[in-house]
């Protein structure tokens, strides 16, 4: 019935917004911004009507949650990095119908998930930053999914992703994209030396592991990656414990997935963390 047309693992570093502003860092994240614009362009070509973002900045301590309000509008300042993102306006259309279908399907699959449509719950910047560059004209509807899951199992997140895809294909009359919005390694630079790491990864170990992971993705070695994901997420400080990645791979078939990653924005360091924009063929 419906279709999952595009899947991607994407960056949302706040220095992308800083990169827009006049000052010493203007233009510093243009490749990442260009990558978002390219992914947005492909979504338009494929007829996507709604983008579902697995957002590693939406922290939850119980259950899984879907923010599917009919409209999102406000002015956002990051409480985490208020000197990077401040007073950023946003306005997007939501998709309550799809959000409810997704939550119901995950719950039926054994992963209890709540959809929130009549809510004042705001979007987090794991959703807002990508939408700024992919969706400036409100072309796409937006649904956000909690992916900073503090007491959850990665296997449940993979099961949720698989249920979401079934819901789209069997119950939704439309075309959807799924984005895992989060980093690879995510060890922020130590306080006091952050400026030195604006364009670097925190350690050679983390950078080496990230590059190995990207090579696995490029050659389609998902059996190895899925087997090592829990330990990689732990030892390399994966953002949101990498639940976003588990959700995305669950939607693609987990360790039975055979697609080979297409790099849209090459790997880069940002404030100690490892970042990338990469499309995973559906």
Q: In angstroms, rounded to a whole number, what is the distance separating the alpha carbons of residues 270 and 66?
A: 28
Q: What is the pLDDT of residue 1?
A: 87
Q: Mean pLDDT, to the nearest integer, of 83-93? A: 95
Give the Å distances, CA to CA, from 223 to 7, 81, 105, 217, 250: 18, 36, 26, 10, 12
Query: Band of the pLDDT at 16, cuts 50, 70, 90?
Result: very high
Of 77, 172, 179, the closest CA to residue 134 belongs to 179
Of 59, 61, 64, 179, the closest CA to residue 110 belongs to 64
Q: Mean pLDDT, to the nearest integer, of 227-246? A: 98
DSSP strand pairing (50-60 vs 175-181): parallel
Q: Mean pLDDT, to the nearest integer, of 137-166? A: 98
Tens-digit pLDDT profile for residues 210-235? 999 999 999 999 999 999 999 999 99
Question: Are 88 and 75 spatial neighbours (Cβ–Cβ below 8 Å)?
Answer: yes
Please give the distance of CA 274 from its chain centroid, rounded to a whole number. 14
Question: Are 155 and 148 spatial neighbours (Cβ–Cβ below 8 Å)?
Answer: no
Q: What is the pLDDT of residue 76?
A: 97
Which segment of 21-35, 132-146, 210-224 scores lowest on mean pLDDT? Answer: 21-35
Q: What is the pLDDT of residue 151?
A: 97
Q: Mean pLDDT, to the nearest integer, of 262-282? A: 98
Average pLDDT, the chain: 97
Q: Mean pLDDT, to the nearest integer, of 132-150? A: 98
Q: What is the pLDDT of residue 61?
A: 98
Q: Mean pLDDT, to the nearest integer, of 273-281? A: 98
**pTM of the full structure:** 0.97
Q: What is the pLDDT of residue 18?
A: 87
Q: How many residues are listed for the chain in this entry?
A: 282
Asked if residue 25 has pLDDT above 90, the reply is no
Asked if residue 94 has pLDDT above 90, the reply is yes
Asked if residue 154 has pLDDT above 90, the reply is yes
Query: How many beta carbons lie within 10 A of that of residue 209, not counting itself?
Result: 19
| Domains parsed from the chain with CATH numbers | 3-279 (3.40.830.10)
DSSP annotation of 25 reads T
Query: Band of the pLDDT at 112, cuts 50, 70, 90?
Result: very high
User: What tokens appear for 216 in the block?
Assistant: 């696995």
């Amino acid at each position: 019935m419906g279709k999952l047309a595009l899947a991607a693992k994407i960056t949302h570093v706040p220095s992308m917004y800083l990169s827009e502003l006049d000052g010493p860092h203007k233009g510093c994240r243009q490749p990442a911004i260009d990558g978002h614009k390219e992914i947005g362009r492909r979504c338009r070509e494929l007829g996507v009507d709604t983008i579902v973002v697995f957002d590693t900045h939406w922290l939850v301590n119980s259950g899984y949650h879907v923010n599917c309000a009919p409209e999102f509008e406000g002015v956002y300042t990051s409480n985490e990095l208020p000197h990077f993102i401040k007073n950023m306006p946003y306005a997007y259309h939501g998709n309550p119908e799809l959000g409810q279908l997704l939550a119901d399907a995950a719950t039926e699959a054994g992963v209890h998930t709540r959809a929130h449509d009549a809510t004042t719950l705001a979007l987090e910047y794991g959703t807002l930053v990508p939408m700024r560059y992919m969706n400036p004209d409100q072309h796409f509807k937006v649904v956000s999914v909690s992916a900073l899951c503090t007491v959850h199992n990665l296997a449940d997140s993979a099961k949720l992703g698989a249920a979401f895809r079934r819901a789209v294909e069997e119950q939704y009359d439309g075309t959807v994209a799924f984005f895992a919005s989060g980093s690879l390694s995510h060890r922020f630079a130590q306080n006091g030396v952050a400026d030195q790491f604006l364009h670097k990864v925190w350690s050679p170990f983390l950078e080496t592991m990230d590059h190995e992971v990207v090579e696995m993705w490029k050659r389609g070695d998902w059996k190895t990656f899925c087997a090592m994901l829990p330990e990689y997420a732990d030892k390399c400080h994966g953002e949101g414990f990498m639940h976003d990645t588990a959700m995305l791979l669950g939607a693609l078939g987990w360790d039975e997935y055979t697609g080979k990653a297409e790099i849209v924005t090459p790997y880069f360091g940002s404030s100690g963390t490892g970042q990338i924009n990469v499309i995973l063929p559906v």
